Structure 1
C-alpha cells in the first residue's frame, strides 16, 4: 500500500512539475539574468524583460526551458515522493504539526537537490547567454561541462549550495502550503475548491523564495562561472555572499531579481500544486490509495 502511494506521488509530481515549468519559465529567465548579468547591463527586472524581448525575441524568455522540462519529471517526482516518505518518517500517526511539516519539507528539499542541482546548472548556463552568435545549444553546454570538468565539478556544479538552498526553501514552502490548506479546509472541508488549491500553492511559492533567496543568487553565480568554486562549501558560499555585497555596495545585491521570483511563484506554484493534487486525487480514486 505504501509503495503504491509513493508511485502515485511520483506520477502526480511529474504532472505538477511540467505545469510549473510551462507557466513559470519566462519570469525565471528574468530572475536569473537579473542575478548574474553585469551590473551595468540591465537597470532592473523590467529592463531585463524589455531588452530580452527587443534584442532576442519573446521566445528568448523560454531559453533554458529544455533542461528543466526534461528533468522536472524526475525532480518533482523525487520531491513529492520524498515529502510523502518524510511525513511518514516524522510521524506515522495522523496529521503533522506545522513544525513537523517544516522538518519533512526540509528532508524532502535535501533529497531533491540530487536532481535539482544539474537541472538548475544547465538552465542557468543557457539563460546566461544573451543572444550573441556564439550562444550554445544545451547539448554543446552539456558536452563542454562534462569534458572539461567531469561529473562533480561540471554536471553537479553548485550541488552543495543547492542543498543549502533547498532545505530552508522547502521547509517554508510546505509549511505555508499546509497552513493555507488547513485554513481553507476549516471553511470548505477536505475537498477544497480549485481556487483554494491555487491560493495555497501561491502562498507556498512565496514562502519558498523568502526563505532562501540569497542562497539562490549564490547558486546561480557559482553555476555560471567559467571555473568551479574552490574551498569547502561553507567557504565558497561565504566568499560568494561577501562578493555580492561588495559588488552591489549593499545587501540589496543578495536580493537582485527577487520581484520576478515572487511574481513567478504565484502562477508557477499554484499550477504545480493544483496539477499535483488533482492528479493525485484521480490516481487515488483509480488505485484506492
Structure 2
C-alpha cells in the first residue's frame, strides 16, 4: 500500500474519533428529533431536558460505541478514498472546486459501504428512551443478524445512506476547500489553526444543508422494526411520502438545528485532528 494512503488512513482515524467524541450529544438529539413518535417531544430543547431528566447525562452518548468502534474504518476509508479520488479526477495537485466536488462525491459513495452499518446501529441505540427493554449494542447487533441477516439487518438502509453520502461529501469538501483557499490568500500556505477550524466548520454546515432530508429518511428506515420492502427507489419514496403525510414539508428537516450546531465543533475538531496528524506523519515519513 502507498505510504501516502497509510498516512491518510491514520490521520482519518484520529479525526474521526475527535468528531464522535465532540459531536455525539447533539447527534443524539438530532436523531431523536427525526425518529421519535409524534408528540413525544416539543423540539430539540425538550429532547435535551427530557433525556437528562429521565435517562441522565450519559444518555446523550447513546450509540457512541458503534461510530467510535467503526469510525477508524469509516473515516480512514473516507479520507483515503478522497485522496485517491482527487488523483483520479486530476493528475495535478491543485483541483478546481468543481473537481473537488466530484472527488468528494466519489469518496462519499465509497464511504457508504462502512457508514451504513455504523449509522444503523447508532440510530437504533439512540432510538431507545431508557425503558427496561432497552438493548445493549451487542444484543442489537445479534438481533439484527439473527432476525434479518446481512442485507436487511446489518446493511439496512445502505442505498439511502449511499444517496445521502454523495451530495453530503461533495458539499463538505467543496465548502472546506473554498474556505481554506480564501484563508490561504490572506495568510499564505501556513494558515493559522483557527482558520482550519473555521474551514472545517463551513464544510460541516455544507454537509447537512446539502443532504439533510435524505438523513431523516435514512434514520427512519434504519429504525423501523421491519426491513424496507421493494426496490430502493420505492421504499425511499414511500418513506418520503410518509414524512410528508405525518409532518408536512417541515418533517424533512426535523432536527436540523442540532445538526448544524453539532457540525461546527465536530467538523472543526475532525479537520484539526486530521491536519495535525497528517502534518506530523508527513514530517515523520517524508510523504
Question: What is the TM-score of this pair, normalised by structure 2?
Answer: 0.99
Equivalent residue number for residue 208 of structure 1: 207
Equivalent residue number for residue 32 of structure 1: 31
Structure 1 stretch displaced more, 17-26 or 91-100: 91-100
The list of structure 1 runs, each at least 4 consecutive aligned residues, that deviate by more than 2 angstroms after superposition, is none
Tell me by how many angstroms 1:236 deviates.
0.8
Partners of 1:39 and 1:172 in 2: how far apart?
A: 31
Tell me by how many angstroms 1:49 deviates.
0.4
Residues 175-196 of structure 1, C-alpha deviation per residue, up to 9 Å, x if partnerless? 0000000000001111111100
Question: What is the TM-score of this pair, normalised by structure 1?
Answer: 0.99
Aligned with 2:103: secondary structure? helix
Partners of 1:93 and 1:268 in 2: how far apart?
A: 30
Equivalent residue number for residue 160 of structure 2: 161
Aligned with 1:64: secondary structure? coil
Tell me by how many angstroms 1:122 deviates.
0.3
Aligned with 1:133: secondary structure? coil
Q: In the alignment, does 2:103 pair up with 1:118?
A: no
Q: In the alignment, does 2:280 pair up with 1:282?
A: yes
Tell me by how many angstroms 1:235 deviates.
0.9
Equivalent residue number for residue 19 of structure 2: 20
Equivalent residue number for residue 101 of structure 2: 102
Q: How does 1:186-201 map to 2 (within 5 A)?
A: 186-201=185-200
Partners of 1:129 and 1:94 in 2: how far apart?
A: 46
Partners of 2:123 and 2:93 in 1: how far apart?
A: 40
Partners of 1:170 and 1:72 in 2: how far apart?
A: 16
Q: Which runs of 5+ in 1 are unaligned?
A: none
Tell me by how many angstroms 1:94 deviates.
3.0
Partners of 1:105 and 1:238 in 2: how far apart?
A: 25
Partners of 2:92 and 2:52 in 1: how far apart?
A: 52
Partners of 1:154 and 1:162 in 2: how far apart?
A: 14
Residues 7-41 of structure 1, C-alpha deviation per residue, up to 9 Å, x if partnerless? 10000000000000000000000000000001110
Equivalent residue number for residue 245 of structure 1: 244
RMSD: 0.7
Residues 106-146 of structure 1, C-alpha deviation per residue, up to 9 Å, x if partnerless? 00000000000000000000000000011000000000000
Q: In the alignment, does 2:249 pair up with 1:258?
A: no
Residues 138-193 of structure 1, C-alpha deviation per residue, up to 9 Å, x if partnerless? 00000000000001100000000000000000000000000000000001111111
Equivalent residue number for residue 57 of structure 2: 58
Equivalent residue number for residue 88 of structure 1: 87
Q: Which runs of 5+ in 2 are unaligned?
A: none
Tell me by how many angstroms 1:277 deviates.
0.5
Partners of 2:109 and 2:140 in 1: how far apart?
A: 26
Aligned with 1:105: secondary structure? helix
Paired positions, count: 287
Aligned with 2:94: secondary structure? coil
Aligned with 2:189: secondary structure? coil
